[in-house]
Amino acid sequence: MSPLRYSAAVGILVVATIVGVMGANEPAPPACSTVYDELQPCIPYFTGRGDPAKDCCSGVKALQPYSKAKSNRVAICQCLKSMVNLVPGVDLSAASKLPKKCNVNVKLPKLSLDIDCSKA
């Protein structure tokens, strides 16, 4: 292989590695089914029937890594908004308080029916 081709191949490999490492730190946006599965134990809390259960807080902790990237926060926000249509009586303001109640640092805006999730 000529020195020029070798340099080009090494350069491409370095760029691919950097892009791969940068992307590896942020999981892909979660599917709504994942969000629903993790937060299903929170439905009693979301509907005003007590404090969050231990299983509920475990679900919040499982979703915490997704909250770092904006695209993931947008996806989670959209899933939570759609949950209102699936589960009667869901209080989105309770959902906004859930991370604090579970002592989990999640970057989500205060949720409401008219929130623009693209600004999450």
**What pLDDT is recorded for position 26?**
75
Can you give the residue ranges of every domain in the chain?
29-119
pTM equals: 0.72
Within 10 A of 14 (CB to CB), how many other CB atoms are there? 10
| pLDDT at residue 112 in the model | 80
Query: Homologous superfamily of 29-119 in CATH?
Result: Plant lipid-transfer and hydrophobic proteins (1.10.110.10)
**Which own/partner contact pairs does 34-43 have at CB distance under 8 Å and 24+ positions apart?**
34/63, 35/63, 35/75, 35/76, 35/79, 35/80, 35/83, 36/79, 36/83, 36/86, 38/62, 38/63, 39/63, 39/80, 39/83, 42/95, 42/98, 43/87, 43/90
pLDDT of the residue at 19? 37
Going residue by residue through the chain (120 aa), what tens digit of pLDDT does each one get? 554 443 333 333 333 333 333 345 778 999 999 999 999 999 999 999 999 999 999 999 999 998 889 999 999 989 988 888 888 888 888 888 899 999 998 877 778 878 888 987
Residue 111 has what pLDDT?
A: 80
What is residue 1's predicted lDDT score, i.e. its pLDDT? Answer: 55
Q: Which pLDDT score is estimated for 62?
A: 94
